[in-house]
Amino acid sequence: MMKMMIRCLTDITIEEGDTVDWVWEGVGHNVKSIPRGTFGTAGDDSTAFNSPFTYSYTFMDIGIFDFECVPHSSIMYGTINCSCRRYIKYR
Ligand SMILES: [Cu+2]
């Protein structure tokens, strides 16, 4: 499991099956995937949550996933690069 703080310009690399935790340190934040619908906190753009609050999502697909905090989208956003596990699967 990977822990991260939601801050500006957050770019991390994980492996498929890893869980990312967004841990609130303040008030009035949310998480929306870009484009929306892949992951994110419940509610619409105006729905925000206050500390203490954690949003977790397990990435099962390889890809590049952008996200933002809608109320602070100009400064709170990032990219999660989900790569394949570093072993070869024989089936
Ligand atoms: Cu925010």
Cα–ligand 1 centroid distance for 42 (angstroms): 15
Q: pLDDT tens track of the chain, all 91 residues? A: 444 444 444 688 898 899 999 999 889 999 999 999 999 999 999 999 999 999 999 999 999 999 999 999 998 999 999 988 766 666 6
7 falls within a domain: yes
Question: Which residue range forms the structural domain that includes residue 56?
Answer: 2-83
Q: How many structural domains comprise the chain?
A: 1
Phi, psi of 65 (to 5 degrees): -120, 115
Q: Report yes or no on whether pTM surpasses 0.85.
A: no
Q: Is residue 75 part of a domain?
A: yes
Order of strands across the sheet with 10-15? 10-15, 77-83, 63-68, 32-34
Q: How far apart are CA 91 and CA 80, in angstroms?
A: 28
Pick from 25, 4, 13, 39: nearest CA to 72 = 25
For ligand 1, the distance from its centroid to the CA atom of residue 28, given in whole angstroms, is: 6
Q: How far is the CA of 46 from the centre of ligand 1 (A)?
A: 11
Write the CATH number for 19.
Answer: 2.60.40.420
